[in-house]
Amino acid sequence: MTTRRQVIQGAAALSAVSIAPGLRAQDKPVRIGYAMARTGPWTGGAQVSQEPNYLLWAEQMNAAGGLDVKGVRRRIELISSDDRSDVETCVRTYEKLMGSDKVDLVLPPWGSNANFAVAPLANRFGYPFLAPTALSRRLVEMKLPYFFLLLQQPQPMTQALVDMFKANGVKTMACIYVDDLFGLENYAALKVALQGSGIQLVEDKSYPGGVKDLSPVLRSIKDKNPDAFVGFTYPPDTILASKQAKEVGFNPKFFYASVGTAFQLYRNVMTPAGAEGVLGMGSWNAKTSPGAKAYFDAHTQKFGGKEPDRWASGHCWAGLEILTNAVRQVGLDRKAIRDYVANTTHKTIIGEVKFTGSENTATPGTVSQWQNGEFEVVWPPKLATAKLNSNKPVWK
Amino acid sequence: MSFSAWLELLASGLITGGIYALVALGLNLQYGLMRILNIAHGEFLMVGAYLTWMVQTQFGLSPLWMIPLSFALLMLLGLAIHWLCFRRLTATSPNLDVFEARGLMVAFGLMFLIQNAVSAIWGGELRGYDYMTDPVAMGGAQFAANKLLVFFMALLFSLALMVLLRKTLLGKGVRALMQSPAGAQLVGINTRTLHPLMFGIGLGLSGLAGCLLSMAYTISPAMGEPYTVTALIVITLGGFGSMGGALAGGLLLGVIEAIGMHFTNPSLKALLSYVVFIGVLLFRPKGLFAK
Amino acid sequence: MNSRNLLWRDLLVLFGLSGWALALPAHASEFAVSMALTCLMYVALSSSWGFFCGTSRYLSLATSAFFGIGAYTTAVMLGELSWFGVIALGAGLATLVAVVMGLAVLHLRGTYFAVLTFGMAELIRHAISYFEKSVSGTVGRVLATVPEMGTIYHTVLLLAVLAVALSIGLRRTRFGLALLGIGGDEQRAQTLGVNTRLVKVAGFAFTAAIAGGVGAAMAVRWTYIDPHTAFNPFIGFQTVLIALIGGAMTVWGPLIAAIVFSVLAETLRLQAPQIYMMTLGILLILCVLYLPGGLASLRWQTFKAWWQDSRSWWKARRYEWSGDKARDKRKARENRIVGL
C-alpha cells in the first residue's frame, strides 16, 4: 500500500518536474482585463466581433509560451466579466480593473456608447485603449491621447461609397438610416460626400431601431426607381430591409446595407443565393493577406464553424496585433505603449494602420459585396479582393 | 398617389395589423377573461420563436410542424405556470384590485425569469432562418408568403376564438366566469379547470405567434418586450376581453402605422402608437368598439 | 415602543448609516465607492417609490421617465448652470411632468394606472428622441467636462438621505396617513374629507423629484447621453422589484433590499450574469405569493407560519394519497344513506 502511494507521489512529482521548465519561464502572468456584453441588446455584436477574438488571441499567445514582454514570455491571464449591455456597469467594471485591481492592460468593451463612457476613464488612469467597435466623429473630437479608434469613421466610408457609385454611373440614390448616432452621422457624412458628385438623393427616411416593418418605406422608394439604395442600418434592420426588399420586389442595381452584411448570420438567413450582390461595410476577408487567412481559419476552427465578421472582427484582431508588437518592443510601461501605438505605422492583417490623433487614417474607406457566398472587398481597387458586380441579380 | 399604390399600402398595413392581432389574442384571453395582466406575454412568444428556430436548424423539421407543436408545448407550460403561481393568488387575494396588482407583479418576475433563462440556454446572439420568403403576387402588389400565412392564421384564430366563446358551452362558461366568478361557480361551472385551461390557451397562442413570427424576423432574447407593448395597445384599442375587438384593433393599428409611416417618418411611428394608446386609455377606457 | 420612540430610533439609524456612507470615499477603493453609489441610487429611487406606491397601491412604472428627464437636463444644461442648479432643475422638471401626468391619469386605478405610466414613460422617450433628431439634428449629447466622483457621490448620498428621511417623517403626518387611507379604501378616504387628488399628485411628484435629481447626478458618469441610455426601462423595473421585494410599505425594506441586491448583482455578475436576473424574477414571484409584505415583514412568526403551513399541506397530501380520504368519503356517504 505504502509503496503504491509512494509510486504515485513519485510519478506526480516527476510529471510536475517535467513541465516545470515551462512554468519557470512564465513567472507572473500578464493580467489583462475587460468587460464585454454577454447578456442584453449588445450581445449579438459583442459575441461576433469582439470577445471571440480576445479569447483566441489569449489562447494563441499562451500556446506559444505566453505574451512576449521585451523578450520574456509571460502567460496571459484574462480577467473579464459581463457588462450586461449597461453603461453604468461598464464604467464600474473598468474603474475596478484599472483603479483597484490595477491590471497590466485593458481591452475595450463593445459599441460606441460603452466606449464613450470608458474612454475618459482610460485616459485618466493612463491605459491605452484600441477600440475596434466604436464609431463616431465626436469620439475623435474628444482628443483623448490614450484612446484609439481602429474602425474607419463615417467620412471615409461614405466617401468611398460615393466614389464607387460615381465610377459606376449611378445617378439617383435613396437612403434610410437608423435613428441614432451611427445612422445620423453616416447620413450627414453621406450628404456631404454627395455634394458635387452628380448623384441625386431622391428619398431619405429615418426609422427607429427595432422597427418591425419597413415595407411601406421600401415600396415608396421602389416607385421612385433609384439606381442605388443605401441603408445605414443595424443587423436586425439590415436583414429586415433585405427580406422586405425581396418581398416588395425592390431590385435596385446597387443595394447597400451597412452593419450586419459582414456577418456570417447574413449569409445564413438570406442564403448564399439570396445574399448575392448585396453591398455593405466590410474591409477584409481571408484573401486580404496570408495573416488574414491564418486568422480566419484559426477563428473558425476554435469556435466550431463560427466565422469572424468581415469588418470589425478584422480590425479587432489588428488591434491585438498592434498591442502584441507594442508589448514586445517596449514592455508593459503603458505610457511607452501609448507612444508606440501613436507614432508607428503598424503592419496588420488588414493592411497598414496609422493613427492621426485618435483616428486610424491609414485604412481607407471600403465597400464589400457578397459574391458566391463570400463577402469580397470591391472598393477601393487597390484593396479589392474581387471585382465589383455592378448588376445585382434579382432577390432569390 | 395612384389607386393601386393606396391599395398596396392598405394591404400591407392590414397584414402587419393581422400580426398585431394574433400577438394580442393570447394576452386578451388572459387579461380580459382572467384579469391577469401577463406582461411576460412577449417572452413566451420569444420562447415559441426559439423552439421553432432550434427545431428548424438542428432537426431540419419544417416550421409548419411547429405551429401545432409550439401551441401544445406552450399550453402545457401555461398550465404548469398557472398551477404553480396564479392558483395561490386567486385563493389568497382579498379583492380583485389586489389580485390584479399581484398578478402583474408575478408576471413581472416571470418576464425576468424567462428572458434570462432563454439567454442562458441559447446565448444572446441574433438568430434567424429563411422560410417561405418568396413573394406571392396578388393583384398588382406582392407580399411575402410567410407574412400572408401569419395574416391568414390571425384571421383563423380570431374567428375560431370568437365562435368558441359565443357558440360552445365551454365558451359560455368562460363568459359567465368573466361576468361573475361567484355566480359562475353557483351554477356549476368548474372554475378549477377552466382558469388554467384559458391561461394555457392564452400562452399557447403566444407561442404560436412566436413560431410564425420567427419565419419573418430575426430572433433574440430581448425581442419579446416590443410585442408585449403592441399587444397591450391592441387590447386597449379593442376593449379588454373582446376577441373581435382585438382583431379590429390590431388591423386598425397596422393601417394607422402604415399610413403614418408613408406620409411622415417611420420615426414617428412609435410616437403615434403611444399617443393613440394613451388617448384611448384616457378617453375611452372601454375600447374603441365598446357600445 | 410608542410612535415617538420609533421615530427617534429610525432617525438615529439613518444618521448612523449616512455617517458611515459619508466616510466611505475617504478610505475605500474607487470601485467600492462606485458600488456604494449604485446602491445609494437605488436606495433613493426605491424608498421614494415605496413611500408613494407602497402605501397608496398605485403602481407607477414611470420611474425611468423621471430619471431620464433628469439625465437629459444634465446633458443639455451642464455647461450653463452650476452643479446644484442642474440637479435642482432636473428634479424640478421631473416634478412638473409628474404633476401634469398625475392630474391627467391619477383617477384610474390599479393595472390601468401601471400600464398608463409605462406608456407615458415610453412616449416621453420617443418624443425627446424625435425632438432631438429633428430640431437639434443630433441624437445624443457628449459631456466634455464632468465634476469629480466625490461631488456625484455626495449629491446622490444627500438625495438618498433626503428620500429616507422624508419617508420616515412624512409617514407620521396627515399626508402620510392620507396616502395609507387611499391605499386602504379610497372612496372611504374621500368621504372622510381627504383631498385625494392633491395627495396623490403630491406623492407622485415626490417620487419624480427624487428620481429626476438622481438621474441628473448619475448622468455625468456616462459621458455620452442618448435617449436610449437615459430612459433605460430597466432602471424603473429594478426600482419596482427592489421596493416590492423589500416591502414597499415599510421604511427600511427598500433600503435593505437595495443594498442586498446591489451586492448580489455585483457578485453574481462576475460569475453568472443571467442567474442574477433569474434570481430576481424568482424572488419576486416567491415574495408576491408567500410574502406579500416583502422582506421587511419577515418575522419569526412568518417562519413558524410557513413551517405549520407546509406541515398541514403534507398531512393533507398523506391523507389523500394513502386512500384514507376516499375511504372516509365512502363511509360518510354510506352513513348518510343508512341514516336516512
Residue pLDDT, tens place only, A38-68? 888 888 889 999 999 999 999 999 999 899 8
Whole-complex ipTM: 0.82
Say whether residue C280 is in contact with chain B using an 8 A CB cutoff: yes
Q: Minimal Cα–Cα distance from A337 to chain B, Å? A: 34
Q: Is the pLDDT of residue A337 over 90?
A: yes
Structure confidence at residue A25 (pLDDT):
47
Q: Is the pLDDT of residue C59 over 90?
A: no
Helix (H, G, I), strand (E, B) or coil at A376: strand
Q: Could you say which of A99, A180, A208 has the minimum Cβ distance to residue C30?
A: A99
CB contact under 8 A, B266 and A217: yes
Lowest mean pLDDT among A237-246, B256-265, C131-140, C278-287: C131-140
Domain boundaries, chain A: 26-153+288-302+310-360, 154-286+366-383
CB contact under 8 A, C59 and B112: no
- pTM for the predicted model, two decimal places: 0.85
Structure confidence at residue A213 (pLDDT):
82
Say whether residue A92 is in contact with chain C using an 8 A CB cutoff: yes
Helices (H), chain A: 2-24, 43-49, 51-63, 87-95, 112-125, 137-141, 154-167, 181-194, 215-224, 235-248, 264-270, 272-275, 290-302, 312-330, 334-343
Which CA distances in Å does C196 have to B283, C49, C172, C178, C188?
A: 21, 18, 17, 8, 10
Residue pLDDT, tens place only, A354-372? 999 889 999 999 999 999 9
CB contact under 8 A, A41 and B119: no
Q: Which CATH superfamily is domain A154-286+366-383 in?
A: Response regulator (3.40.50.2300)
Question: Do B48 and B70 meet the contact criterion of CB atoms below 8 Å apart?
Answer: yes
Strands (E) located in B228-280: none
Number of B/C CB contacts below 8 angstroms equals 108
Say whether residue B11 is in contact with chain A using an 8 A CB cutoff: no
Give contacts of C274 with chain B, Cβ < 8 Å: 116-117, 119-120
CB contact under 8 A, B144 and A244: yes
Residue pLDDT, tens place only, C113-132? 888 888 888 889 888 888 88
Q: Could you say which of C130, C278, C289 has the minimum Cβ distance to residue B267?
A: C130
Which CA distances in Å does A194 have to A165, A183, A186, A201?
A: 10, 16, 12, 8
Structure confidence at residue A6 (pLDDT):
60
Confidence of residue B135 (pLDDT cuts 50, 70, 90): confident
Query: Can you tell me the distance from the alpha carbon of C265 to that of C34, in angstroms, rounded to the nearest whole number?
Result: 13
Q: Which phi and psi (to 5°) does residue A84 adopt?
A: 55, 25
Query: What CATH number has the domain spanning B3-283?
Result: 1.10.3470
CB contact under 8 A, A240 and B217: yes
Average pLDDT, integer, range B142-146: 81
Give contacts of A180 with chain C, Cβ < 8 Å: 139-140, 226, 228
Domain boundaries, chain C: 3-298, 302-339
Q: Is the pLDDT of residue A1 over 70?
A: no
Structure confidence at residue A146 (pLDDT):
93
Confidence of residue B80 (pLDDT cuts 50, 70, 90): very high
Q: Could you say which of C34, C139, C273 has the minimum Cβ distance to residue A184?
A: C139
Q: Is the pLDDT of residue C3 over 90?
A: no
Q: Which CATH superfamily is domain A26-153+288-302+310-360 in?
A: Response regulator (3.40.50.2300)
The three three-digit cell numbers of residue A347, written as one number: 503592419
Give contacts of B5 with chain A, Cβ < 8 Å: 219, 223
Helix (H, G, I), strand (E, B) or coil at A331: coil
Q: Which phi and psi (to 5°) does residue C249 adopt?
A: -85, -10
Structure confidence at residue C340 (pLDDT):
55
Class (C level, CATH) for C3-298:
mainly alpha
Q: Is the pLDDT of residue A8 over 70?
A: no
Structure confidence at residue A22 (pLDDT):
46
Residues of B contacting chain C (CB within 8 angstroms): 37, 85, 88-89, 97-98, 100-102, 104-106, 108-117, 119-120, 229, 232, 236, 267-268, 270-271, 274-275, 277-278, 281-282, 285
Mutate to test the interface with C, among B27, B88, B105, B276 (most CBs of C within 10 A): B105
Structure confidence at residue A14 (pLDDT):
54
